[in-house]
Amino acid sequence: MRLVTVLGARPQFIKASVVSSELAKCAGVQEVVIHTGQHFDANMSDLFFAELGMSKPAHELGIHGGPHGEMTGRMLIGIERILADERPDIVLIYGDTNSTLAGALAAVKLHIPVAHVEAGLRSFNMRMPEEVNRIVTDRVSTWLFAPTGEAVTHLGREGVDPARIHQVGDVMYDVALHHGARAAGRANGAVRRLGLVEKGFALATVHRAENTDDPDRLEVIVDALAEVGRGLPLVWPLHPRTRAVLERVGLLSRLEQSVRLIEPQGYLDMLELEHSAVVIATDSGGVQKEAFFHRVPCVTLRDETEWMELVVGGWNTLAAPVSAKAVIEAIETAIGRQGSDITPYGNGDAAKRIAHHLSGVGIIT
Ligand code: UDP
C-alpha cells in the first residue's frame, strides 16, 4: 500500500512524527512525504525533523508566503504533479493549514482517497482561514480521524456518515507522552539555558492571523504581556510572522523592556518550557492542549477555541485580546488554578490506531 503524506507547517511535523513511525511498523506500507515548504526556517522545520527522528521528505516544494489563494494554488499545482507520478492509494493530511487543503483537493480530484488527522474541529468562525480549510478538507475526506468526542459530534451534526468517522484520540498527546521524559531529562534544556526558575515564569506564544494582522488586537496583547512581564518573568518564543509584524509596526521595543523574547524553540525545549511555566498565554491550538498535558493553567488569547473541553474542564480561559486589563486579569487569575480530572484526548495510542486502520489491519477497539 502506497501512502503519500502532505505536510508543511510546524504542528504537522510534530503530529506526523508519531504516525509515520507507526506506519513504518506496518508490513506492506510504503510512505512518501511531500513537504510543501509553508514553514521553511531551520528552527520552524529542519529542527523538528531532526529532533523527532523523521526522514527527510522525498519531495520539497519550497512554497511559502503570498496571499492564501496564491499559496494554496501553487501548492495544488505542485502536489498534483507529484501525486500523478507517485499514484498512491491514500493521501494523508493533518490539521487545518493551506498545505492540508491543497493536499486534500489535489488528491480528491485525482480520485485518491484522503485521510484527515484532526478531523471535526470547529471554531465556528468562518473568518479564520483554518476553519475554511478544515471544513472543506473534512467534506472531501474518506477517513476522518477525530481527536475528541466533541469533534465527532460536530461531524455528526454536519451529516457526515458515521462509518467515515473514527475517534482515535489526539496524536499530539501521543507525541507529548513519547518525548516528555526525554525533554525533562536533558542536562542543558531551555529552562536552564535561559536561567529560569521552575514555576517562576509565564510562557506566551502568539501567531494567529486574527491577532497578528489586527493592529488593535496585537497592541492589546503587547500591552497586556508587557505588564504581566513587569511582575513575573515572561518568556515569548516569537513566531517569524509575529516578529515581522511587531518589527513593522514598531511594537517590538515596547515588549523588549519587560518580556524575554526568544527565537522559536525546538519541540523538546518547548515541552520543557511549558512543563515548567506557572501559566501559559497563547493563541496556538497545540499549546493549549500541551498546557493541559502538563496540568499548567492556560489563557487563550482568542474569541473562541476548538478545544472547548479544556474551557469547560476549568483548565483554559478564553480572553479575547480586546482589553489589556481583561487579559492581564485573566492571566493573573489563572495562576494556581487547576481544572477537573478529565481525559478527553485518548490513551496515547492515536497514531497506532490511525496506522493500523490505514494499513488495513483495522481500527483497534
Ligand atoms: N512549538 C514549538 N516551538 C515553539 C512554539 C511552538 O515546538 O517555539 C510547538 C508546540 O509545542 C506545539 C506546536 O508547536 O506542539 C504548536 O504549533 P503552532 O502553535 O505553530 O500551531 P497550532 O497548534 O496553533 O496549529
Whether residue 40 lies inside any domain: the answer is yes
Secondary structure of the chain in HEC code, one letter for each residue: CEEEEEECCHHHHHHHHHHHHHHHCCCCCEEEEEECCCCCCCCCCHHHHHHCCCCCCCEECCCCCCCHHHHHHHHHHHHHHHHHHHCCCEEEEECCCHHHHHHHHHHHHCCCCEEEECCCCCCCCCCCHHHHHHHHHHHHCCEEEECCHHHHHHHHHCCCCHHHEEECCCHHHHHHHHHHHHHHCCCCCHHHHCCCCCCCCEEEECCCHHHHCCHHHHHHHHHHHHHHHHHCCEEEECCHHHHHHHHHHCCHHHHHCCCEEECCCCHHHHHHHHHHCCEEEECCHHHHHHHHHCCCCEEECCCCCCCHHHHHCCCEEECCCCCHHHHHHHHHHHCCCCCCCCCCCCCCCHHHHHHHHHCCCCCCC
Name the residue with the closest Cα to ligand 1, atom 14: 11
Whether residue 196 lies inside any domain: the answer is yes
268 and 288, same domain (yes or no): yes
Average pLDDT of the chain to the nearest whole number: 96
34 and 158, same domain (yes or no): yes
Report residue 14's pLDDT band, with 50, 70 and 90 as the boundaries.
Answer: very high
Laid out side by side, the sheet with 279-282 consists of 260-262, 234-237, 202-205, 279-282, 298-300, 316-318
263 and 320, same domain (yes or no): yes
Identify the domain containing residue 209 by its residue range: 187-334
Residue 309 has pLDDT above 80, yes or no: yes
202 and 126, same domain (yes or no): no
211 and 137, same domain (yes or no): no
CB atoms within 10 A of CB 345: 23
pTM over 0.85: yes
Tell me how long the chain is.
365
140 and 229, same domain (yes or no): no
Residues 6+ apart with CB under 8 A from 159: none
280 and 247, same domain (yes or no): yes
157 and 61, same domain (yes or no): yes
Whether residue 363 lies inside any domain: the answer is no
95 and 217, same domain (yes or no): no
Average pLDDT over residues 326-335: 98
* Tens of pLDDT, residues 119-159: 999 999 999 999 999 999 999 999 999 999 999 999 999 99
Ligand 1 environment, Cβ below 6 A: 10-11, 14, 205, 207, 237, 264-265, 267, 270, 284-287, 290
CATH number, domain with residue 251: 3.40.50.2000
Whether residue 317 lies inside any domain: the answer is yes
19 and 158, same domain (yes or no): yes
The alpha carbon of 287 and the centre of ligand 1 are apart by a number of angstroms equal to 6
- Residue 361 pLDDT: 59
72 and 218, same domain (yes or no): no
134 and 160, same domain (yes or no): yes
Ligand 1 atom nearest 264 alpha carbon = 8
Domain tally, the chain: 2
Residue 58: HSE in the Cβ half-sphere, 13 Å Cα cutoff: 14
Name the residue with the closest Cα to ligand 1, atom 10: 287
Marked catalytic residue, from 207, 239, 275, 356: 207
Ligand 1 atom nearest 271 alpha carbon = 11
Whether residue 181 lies inside any domain: the answer is no
- Residue 113 pLDDT: 97
Average pLDDT over residues 312-328: 98
Instruction: Identify whether 207 is a catalytic site residue.
Output: yes
The alpha carbon of 27 and the centre of ligand 1 are apart by a number of angstroms equal to 32
Average pLDDT over residues 320-348: 98
Whether residue 55 lies inside any domain: the answer is yes
Q: Tell me the C-alpha distance between 96 and 306, whole Å.
A: 12
CB atoms within 10 A of CB 78: 21
